[in-house]
Structure 1
Amino acid sequence: MRLRNGWLRAGLSVGLTGILWAPAASRAADPVEGGKLSEGTGLASRYPGDAGIADDPAVLFSEDFESGDLKKWDDLDGNKPPQVRLVSDGELVHSGKIAAQLEAPLGKGAGADLTKLFASGHEVLFARWYCRFAEDFDQGNLMHFVGLAGLRDRWQLGRSGEKPDGTDFFSTQLEPWRDWGRNPAPDALGFYSYYPDMRPDPSGPYDGNAFRPTDSPVLLQRGRWYCLEMMVKANDPDRADGEPAFWVDGALTGHYTGLRWRTTDALKLNCLWMLLYIHDNSQVNRVWLDDVVVGSQYVGPMVR
């Protein structure tokens, strides 16, 4: 799995009220924790087992992997087994008979991904998926996971160490962080984001800014399935009113407002990036993905 301009790198983080993020020079207003959004049951409650959910007018993309292939995805970098494979091993499947496995091999800058590009851009996207981290999963200090992005073209995907100019790209990934090894893997979720008002790392480069809940964060555990969902709302080009939010098992866990993702409405959300990338991988790490839905409304957990 190849990323442009070097491999993704995570910035240092410091605490503010309710938010953690990368340190910075002066810039526009900082993102703040947002208000109430839907939680609990959502669009998926109308489709037990997600049967027929792909036909809902609010759904843009769905993937349960039951086709036994990855033809729905846009393979940008030739990922093949063992990095990306389909599995049918009982507990490694959330529903049906097949799930996807992403494997990060031993070494530095190791990873695997599934990418979906959408022909038309969107002002708001929700992405829901189920994931399970292996019983021995340990990302060390830094990893990257699933995200949504707005790309001027496909070549903007994976850019790192650069601040977006408001017309080229923006992105945010929902990913666990172990607080420099203080907590068991995979640990607490938060956002890792690139946007025009982002803060630089003290050493100079623009590594993704992190912001995550500090009050009662949900600490992910290994060896169990989670329903994760994230939302990104693009800003009006002349205002800092963009938002990201995320849910864990249907509970709204993080919601932030006041972000300026872009400076032109020509740049819209058009990419789902399901990524497992580990900076310094001391072992083979695996995560399983299943029951992916992307749409314009809150999806919520699958109902049986």
Structure 2
Amino acid sequence: MRHPLRFALTISLILAGCDGPPNAASDAGSSADASPPPADGGSEDGGETGEDASAPPPGDTLSARYPDDVGIGGDPAVLFHDDFEAGWGRWDGPTADTRTLHIEADPATAHGGRGYLRSTVTTADLEEDTYVSSSTWVTHERADAIYWRFHVRFPELAPNPHHWVRMAAGVEGWDASGLANTVPPGDEGFWFDFDTNTDDVFNFYVYWHKMRSGRCNDGTAAPGCAGDQGSTYYYGNVFQPPGQAPFPRDRWFCVEMHARANTVGESDGALAFWIDDVAVGDYRPGHPEGTWLRAEFHTGGCDFSACTPPGPFEGFEFRSSSDVRFKSFMLDAYYERDSDARRRAEMEERGLTVSDARTILYDDVVVATERIGCRR
């Protein structure tokens, strides 16, 4: 898998005809002040739950059938599994430790067993390089619907990545995910990032052939439109569930995502995620109610003058060819010098003591075609 280019220009836009904020040309996500994380993480109100995203009975998950994940890699539904107990052998790249990535063995730190993956990007790294991508990736058997679970720990109080982990779909030879300000062809591929902002909450950041532009209030790119920003750009469309509590620092928690490609010609694609097996985000045809404004879907509606009344989410028309299928994923802590400095300044303005080491730990990674659940 070609190492993708991951960058996003942060630009200052003068709003025209709308008193809402600029869209995803800047860091995606809420700008509300962070509050101390609760003991159990997850969502304050249970998130945007719904039939598709609600957790199945315990016996219906892979983790329930394979306690401690013992034998889970042999299940026919599993496309990839790594608990980092055997080194780098299961990843397409890298195949050995790098400056920012290390597989380590410490049972007191690991989520399970001894092994785990550590990503550390320092202030010195960003002084040397404007863009730092601390990433590992895998190309797997292609599938129309996918689940991806991993356990993660943020041991330091430090700026979160500019962009974080990513799942990509495509035809067999397509390998162009991660390009900023790009509308991917519907018959070739699409992708989404799963990001976290300075409030330690999560959002999907999605690129697909029917994505909306940030130029106009209605998501189009016609000059002279309502809210015209004066230039056309296509950064990832943002889906951030409201009511999230900040994730917990310095303890392991579980992230699981689900993505379903659409039937060609229909808008029945879906995205969902769970934190510690609690449904938080759920986007599918008819759910949730919300309002589009430029390139962001506001669950429940929004209060800016350009906001239209909320209505049911229409679902995703991710692809125009059935040969476009989920094929790869990436653990990528991607940092950009200027946005990192802004995030650091925002945290320090809140009175926080910020580390120079941006460390993220990963363990117990599973990709499958059915619901996985957290390691039990």
Output the TM-score relative to the length of structure 1. 0.82
What's the offset of the Cα at 1:61? 0.9
State the partner residue of 1:201: 214
Task: Measure, in 1, the Cα distance between the counterparts of 2:177 and 2:331.
Answer: 12
**Which of residues 110, 123, 127 in structure 1 aligns to 2:132?**
110
Q: Do the aligned partners of 2:69 and 2:375 also contact (CA within 8 Å) in 1? A: yes
CA distance 1:295–1:161, change in 2 (3 Å)? same
Q: Do the aligned partners of 1:122 and 1:269 also contact (CA within 8 Å) in 2? A: yes
Partner SS, residue 161 of structure 1: coil
CA distance 1:9–1:274, change in 2 (3 Å)? farther
What's the offset of the Cα at 1:137? 2.5
State the partner residue of 1:35: 50
Partner SS, residue 219 of structure 1: coil
Q: Do the aligned partners of 1:102 and 1:286 also contact (CA within 8 Å) in 2? A: yes
User: Can you give the 5+ residue segments of structure 2 that lack an aligned partner in the other structure?
Assistant: 13-20, 26-47, 216-230, 285-314, 342-355
State the partner residue of 1:210: 238
1:164 aligns with 2:184: yes
Q: Do the aligned partners of 2:174 and 2:188 also contact (CA within 8 Å) in 1? A: no
State the partner residue of 2:365: 292
State the partner residue of 1:132: 153
State the partner residue of 2:329: 272
What's the offset of the Cα at 1:22? 4.1
**Which of residues 167, 170, 183 in structure 2 aligns to 1:151?**
170
Task: Measure, in 2, the Cα distance between the counterparts of 1:151 and 1:105.
Answer: 33
What's the offset of the Cα at 1:79? 7.7
What's the offset of the Cα at 1:160? 1.8
CA distance 1:213–1:164, change in 2 (3 Å)? same
Amino acid of the structure 2 residue aligned with 1:130:
H
CA distance 1:134–1:210, change in 2 (3 Å)? same
Task: Measure, in 2, the Cα distance between the counterparts of 1:35 and 1:244.
Answer: 12
Q: Do the aligned partners of 2:255 and 2:274 also contact (CA within 8 Å) in 1? A: yes
Task: Measure, in 2, the Cα distance between the counterparts of 1:143 and 1:7.
Answer: 9
Tell which deviates more after alignment, 248-257 or 109-118: 109-118
Partner SS, residue 144 of structure 1: coil
State the partner residue of 1:30: none
State the partner residue of 1:190: 203
- TM-superposition CA deviations, 1:142-182 (whole Å, max 9, x none): 6212221103335313222101120222111222122xxxx
Q: Do the aligned partners of 1:21 and 1:209 also contact (CA within 8 Å) in 2? A: no
Amino acid of the structure 2 residue aligned with 1:35:
G
What's the offset of the Cα at 1:109? 1.9
What's the offset of the Cα at 1:8? 4.2
What's the offset of the Cα at 1:199? 1.7
Tell which deviates more after alignment, 291-300 or 90-99: 90-99
State the partner residue of 2:4: 3
CA distance 1:95–1:105, change in 2 (3 Å)? same
- TM-superposition CA deviations, 1:65-115 (whole Å, max 9, x none): 100x21211117x88423111112344310000100122343232221110
User: Can you give the 5+ residue segments of structure 1 that lack an aligned partner in the other structure?
Assistant: 13-19, 25-32
Task: Measure, in 1, the Cα distance between the counterparts of 2:168 and 2:96.
Answer: 20
Partner SS, residue 372 of structure 2: coil
What's the offset of the Cα at 1:23? 6.8
1:20-59 equivalences under 5 Å are 22=23, 35-36=50-51, 37-39=53-55, 41=58, 42-59=61-78
State the partner residue of 2:252: 225
- TM-superposition CA deviations, 1:98-146 (whole Å, max 9, x none): 100122343232221110101x32110000000001222323xx62122
Task: Measure, in 2, the Cα distance between the counterparts of 1:91 and 1:10.
Answer: 40
Among all aligned residue pairs of Structure 1 and Structure 2, give the percentage whose two residues are the same amino acid. 27
Q: Do the aligned partners of 2:196 and 2:203 also contact (CA within 8 Å) in 1? A: yes
Task: Measure, in 2, the Cα distance between the counterparts of 1:192 and 1:299.
Answer: 23
Partner SS, residue 201 of structure 2: strand
Amino acid of the structure 2 residue aligned with 1:262:
R
Q: Do the aligned partners of 1:21 and 1:212 also contact (CA within 8 Å) in 2? A: no
What's the offset of the Cα at 1:201? 3.0
- TM-superposition CA deviations, 1:204-262 (whole Å, max 9, x none): 22111110111x21311221111100010000110111001000000111010201111
Rg larger in structure: 2
How many aligned positions are there? 274
CA distance 1:2–1:270, change in 2 (3 Å)? closer
CA distance 1:156–1:212, change in 2 (3 Å)? same
What's the offset of the Cα at 1:9? 5.3
CA distance 1:97–1:124, change in 2 (3 Å)? same
